[in-house]
Amino acid sequence: MIERIARLAAIVTIVMALGLAASPAAAEDGYALWLRYQPLPQGIRAAAAPHAAAIVAPAAPSPTIGVAVAELQRGLGGLLARPEPVAHTAGVGAILVGTPAELPAIAALHLPLSGLGDEGYLLRSATVDGKAVTIVTGNSDVGVLYGAFALLRQVQTGAPIDRLDLASTPKVRIRMLDHWDNLDRTVERGYAGESIWDWWRLPDWHDPRYTDYARANASIGINGTVLNNVNASPDILTPRFIAKAAALADIFRPYGIKVYLSVNFASPIKLGGLKTADPLDPQVAAWWKAKADEIYKAIPDFGGFLVKANSEGQPGPGDYHRSHSQGANMLAAALAPHHGIVIWRAFVYTATGDGDRAKEAYDEFKPLDGQFADNVVLQVKNGPIDFQPREPFSPLFGAMPKTPLGLEVQITKEYLGFATHLVYLGALFQETLDADTYADGPGSTVAKVIDGELDHHQLSLIAGVANIGSDRDWCGSDFNQANWYAFGRLAWDPTASSRAIAVEWAKMTFSLDPGFVGPTVDMMMLSREAVVNYMTPLGLAHQMGTNHHYGPAPWVDNLPQAEWNPAYYNRADATGIGFDRTKTGSNAVAQYAPPVAKRFADLATVGDKYLLWFHHLPWTYRMASDETLWDSLVHHYTLGVTQVADMQNTWTAMQRYVDPERYAKATTFLAIQHREAQWWRDASIAYFQSKSHLPLPAGEVPPAHSLAYYEALRFPHAPGI
Ligand code: GCU
């Protein structure tokens, strides 16, 4: 028996050694994200190793420098397949890790750090005492930590590290994840299992995942996390939950991540026993002030409050005939003594005005420009409606120069096929960031609005609704991890290229082989266009099933509030399709700066992407391609399905580069996506044909089922509601 165990142990050792050497064959469950640190190909290892001989850090490192050193040891040790030592003096090939104040050898170099701000880093190849070394430095420990991750990224992506001179500073001050996690561990619009916050066992039990979450976020520069759902339970502000949030804040602090909480505006009533939550009532203001003081006792670097007010049934200042700014400023006053901020959401669509939901946030907030306190930032969704596969940018960007505007995007794929559809959102985020608002002439991009450059704001923010859950792979699929990654990288630099980011991610997550990286990145870039084509082509939006938003339901027109109905958005009838947002319709175009308004209003310049977003057109309208609108619509749906088939073919050809576990999962998910893309196409065509009464263009296959069949489909227990 003992002999058998010994033999088994020997086999296990051999298998483990083989596993280390042949990384693509090793089983992988996605837990390691892009921080896999598997051994690099021999040539890259040989080039990098002499420049990573040892790590030299301050003798008594701060917790943040401590985690930077630990990450470098772990990362370089894995990538170079040998232990990475820590030394006390700088020998040839050493990596010096610290601020100039912490390491005199770095101070002696008089490096140009002033432009790096308090979070930037510098990687520099230098000579110290005649020895070639690498410097990882910044003005703060967290800058050094970001530098450590940047150095690892260089090595992981096969970039040389022998002649480094790489300085980088985040352009946006607050780069945060918004978790829509409830206190019972369900996640609103979450498709990756239950919440990673094990609220029940906090504050005592510290799941190791919390540290890995912090590592992953720090590796891409995310420095804030809102722990709970914007549809906030008042309970988050009870002492019990403040203690739980404080435990998480303690874990995240060394990684430069601050904790924020979503708050319920009616908390003074629900928790404090007050009769009102009127922001102008002194007792209400005093309640919030005392609550803020209590939070800061437990979490001295608490970031602030995120507020969804007077939106989708949430309480807010409007309940007392007060404005959003009056509500926000009252909370801001409670947080200001502690340097906390209020993040006030602009996602509102009360049934007012002329009934175009796309106009409502602008109508409500634009008049309040200049009325918000200094420590308030207004968080605006990328598009005027709600995280659709494609929307034009929100007209609020550029329209409120006196107010810091933050950008909110959704990383979780509520309207994009949930976790199973492969959709690389870097392309979507970049499309918004690159959009030109013309607010201050050409070049006034959304990126420049939200990073504060255009209107000279110090406070700047970008928030992503997290796609993270307790699934082993964190995000519900390996490719969804790319969306978390791309979000962080674009938050750091909103002018970065989403393709370049996808290249980095693919190399770090799967393989450096150009035979893998090129086709896989092409597939990722195509994926966003594919989903637009098979779900909502030509500027259509909000065609998803009621509540769960899974699958097509363009026929739904019986929901109590007009703007919840897909039919309200497509406006298809016997004569045509699309939402007239020009002068002859809702005139939403007028909310944009004149050059943009003109472009969107004019059929000659609006382009196919936003055609039906801004125009209601006859089915026989001639497109630029010379097809009729009807034919073009059908072709776009079919193209979307074909593009998913192309993605499947690409992935099949990638098998030899990918471990079997991750290969199989993506293969299965792509098959689901193909099936569902076909369903989207067929159901949408069946419905729109019932309106247009036109024959399918030549060569197009009729829907597999009748319209009644698609209309009858039901999805009880769909996730994320
Ligand atoms: C969407 C989503 C809701 C969410 C809301 C918000 O409407 O479906 O679940 O609460 O956005 O952003 O507040």
pLDDT, tens digit, 9 for 90 and up, residues 337-356: 999 999 999 999 876 545 89
pLDDT band at 200 (very low <50, low <70, confident <90, very high): very high
SS3 content of the chain, % helix, strand, coil (to 5): 45, 10, 45
pLDDT tens digits for range 111-136 = 999 999 999 999 999 999 999 999 99
Quickly count: other Cβ atoms within 10 Å of residue 198's Cβ.
16
Q: Residues lining ligand 1, CB < 6 A?
A: 188-189, 230-231, 308, 312, 347, 386, 414
Question: What pLDDT does residue 354 have?
Answer: 58
Ligand 1 site-directed mutation target among 307, 312, 357, 547, most atoms within 8 Å of CB: 312
Judge whether 111 and 137 are in contact, CB under 8 Å: yes
Name every residue whose Cβ is closer than 8 Å to that of residue 148 and which is 6 or more positions away in sequence. Answer: 68, 69, 71, 72, 97, 136
From ligand 1's centre to the CA of 189, what distance in Å? 8
Atom of ligand 1 nearest to the CA of 414: 8
Distance of CA 305 from the midpoint of ligand 1 (Å): 18
d(CA 579, CA 358): 11
pLDDT in tens, 406-428: 999 999 999 999 999 999 999 99
Are the C-beta atoms of residues 433 and 420 closer than 8 Å to each other? no
CA 463 to ligand 1 center in whole angstroms: 14
- Out of 181, 360, 391, 414, which one is annotated catalytic? 414
Instruction: For residue 575, report the distance from its CA to the centre of ligand 1, in Å.
Output: 33
CA-189 nearest atom, ligand 1: 9
- 413 alpha carbon – ligand 1 mean position (Å): 12
Which atom of ligand 1 approaches the CA of 188 most closely?
9
Copy the structure tokens of residue 39: 């051994």
Give distance in angstroms: CA of 283 to centre of ligand 1. 31
* CA pair distance 273, 266, nearest whole angstrom: 10
Please say whether the beta carbons of 74 and 150 come within 8 A.
no
- Find the DSSP H helices in 451-542: 481-492, 498-509, 514-535
Protein residue with its CA nearest to atom 12 in ligand 1: 347
CA distance 224 to 449: 20
CA–centroid distance, residue 109 to ligand 1 (Å): 51
Ligand 1 atom 2, closest CA: 189
C-alpha distances in Å from residue 565, one per residue of 485, 549, 568, 615, 679? 33, 12, 5, 18, 20
Ligand 1: residue of 263, 306, 347, 559 to mutate (most ligand atoms within 8 A of CB) is 347
Does the annotation count 414 as an active-site position? yes
Q: What is the pLDDT of residue 351?
A: 60
Answer whether 134's CB lies under 8 Å from 159's CB.
no
Asked whether the predicted pLDDT for residue 502 surpasses 70, the reply is yes
Length of the chain: 721
Token pair of 341, please?
């901020």
Backbone angles phi, psi at 376, to 5 degrees: -120, 135
Q: Report the atom number in ligand 1 closest to the C-alpha of 549.
A: 8
Q: How far is the CA of 188 from the centre of ligand 1 (A)?
A: 8
**Predicted confidence (pLDDT) per residue in 70-99, tens digit:** 999 999 999 999 999 999 899 999 999 999
- The minimum-distance atom of ligand 1 relative to the CA of 229 is 10
Q: How many CB atoms lie within 10 A of CB 690?
A: 14
Tell if the pTM clears 0.85, that is, is over it: yes
Q: Which residues fall within 8 angstroms of residue 8, CB to CB, at 6 or more apart? A: none
For the chain, the average pLDDT equals 95
Look at residue 355 in the predicted model and tell me its pLDDT.
86
- Predicted confidence (pLDDT) per residue in 616-659, tens digit: 999 999 999 999 999 999 999 999 999 999 999 999 999 999 99
Is the pLDDT at 155 greater than 80? The verdict is yes
Please give the span between the terminal C-alpha atoms of the chain, in angstroms, as a whole number. 53
Is 386 designated active site? Answer: yes
Nearest CA to ligand 1 atom 11: 386
Contact 651, 644 (CB under 8 A): no
Which tokens belong to 131? 């020895």
8 Å CB contact between 151 and 72: yes
640, 6 in Cβ contact below 8 A?
Answer: no
Q: Report the nearest atom of ligand 1 relative to the CA of 308.
A: 13
Q: What is the pLDDT of residue 5?
A: 35
Rounded to whole angstroms, the Cα distance separating 611 from 622 reads 12
Q: Which residue in the list 28, 178, 386, 408 is annotated as catalytic?
A: 386
Mean pLDDT of 163-182: 98
Q: Give the pLDDT of residue 61.
A: 97
pLDDT tens digits, residue range 424-442? 999 999 999 999 999 999 9
Q: What is the DSSP string of 40-56?
A: PPHHHHHHHGGG-SEEE
Is residue 188 within 8 Å of residue 226, measured between CB atoms? no
Position 27 scores a pLDDT of: 65
The Cα–Cα gap between 203 and 397 comes to 40
Cα 713 to ligand 1 centroid, rounded to whole Å? 23
> Considering 162, 312, 354, 557, which one is annotated as catalytic?
312
Please tell me the number of Cα atoms within 13 Å of 462 on its side-chain side. Answer: 32
pLDDT surpassing 70 at residue 9: no
CA 177 from chain centre, in angstroms, equals 7
Name, in order, each residue with C-beta under 8 angstroms of 370's C-beta and a sequence gap of 6 or more. 402, 403
- Which whole number is the average pLDDT over 294-321? 98
Nearest CA to ligand 1 atom 1: 386
Going by CA atoms, what residue is nearest to atom 10 of ligand 1? 231
The alpha helices in 565-659, defined as continuous H runs, are: 566-570, 594-601, 611-614, 629-653
Whole-angstrom Cα distance, residue 589 to residue 41? 54
Nearest ligand 1 atom to alpha carbon 230: 13
Cβ contact 717:684 at 8 Å: no
Average pLDDT score over residue span 239-247:
99
Cα 645 to ligand 1 centroid, rounded to whole Å: 31
547 CA from centroid of ligand 1 (Å):
10
Q: Which atom of ligand 1 is nearest to the CA of 408?
A: 12
Task: Please report how many Cα atoms fall inside a 13 Å half-sphere around the Cα of residue 651, on the Cβ side.
Answer: 25
Nearest to 615 by CA among 691, 540, 690: 540
**For the purposes of burial, counting CB atoms within 10 Å of the CB of 560, is it exposed (0-12), middle (13-18) or buried (19 or more)?**
exposed
| CA–centroid distance, residue 567 to ligand 1 (Å) | 19
Per-residue confidence (pLDDT) for residue 22, from 0 to 100 = 39
Residue 192's nearest CA partner among 428, 387, 411 is 411
Pocket test for ligand 1, best of 410, 414, 559 (most atoms within 8 A of CB): 414
The residue-averaged pLDDT of 356-375 equals 97
Q: Please, which residues have CB within 8 angstroms of residue 165's CB and are 6 or more apart in sequence? A: 123, 124, 125
CA distances from 340 to 53, 305, 331, 335, 483 (A): 42, 8, 10, 5, 28
> Which tokens belong to 460?
């700047």
Determine the average pLDDT of the residues in 556-560: 94
The pLDDT tens digits of the residues spanning 213-238 come to: 999 999 999 999 999 999 999 999 99
Q: Cβ(188)–Cβ(229) under 8 Å?
A: yes
pLDDT score recorded for residue 292: 99
Burial of 402 (0-12, 13-18, 19+ CB in 10 A): exposed
